[in-house]
Amino acid sequence: MGIEMIKKSIIMFMGLFYVFAGVNHFINPEFYKPLIPDYLPRNDILNVISGLLESVFGMGILFKKTRKISSYGIITLLFLFIPSHIYFIQIGACIPDGLCVPMWIAWVRLIIIHPILIYWAYYVSKKQ
């Protein structure tokens, strides 16, 4: 497998990753809504908007013409999701009857995985 094939695979995987994540907001909204901080209004609408944007930007990643703007859209979303990650840590990294992880996993997600996802989107934005 050549380097160009690897780059295309990275782009394809990223696009599909965000399409799947976005669609999952509609399939399983009860997973996402409790992760939205209480101080934000209408978690149902915010869930729909974030799912729609993730799906649209994920599809946009797949096409050269829309890849850069879609990558920047994903980067923006990832920054907008930071309060949700902080909120999850503040509530003890556990949603009753929902997602519960050890606190260290919640921190790793915020300070390691999230920046990697931001860098990944930036990297893909440069691949025209």
Kindly give the parts of the chain with pLDDT less than 50: none
Which domain does 85 fall in, by range? 3-125
pTM of the model: 0.91
Q: For position 96, what pLDDT does the model report?
A: 84
Number of structural domains in the chain: 1
User: To 10 degrees, the CA torsion angle through 35, 41, 44, 47?
Assistant: -60
Q: For position 128, what pLDDT does the model report?
A: 67
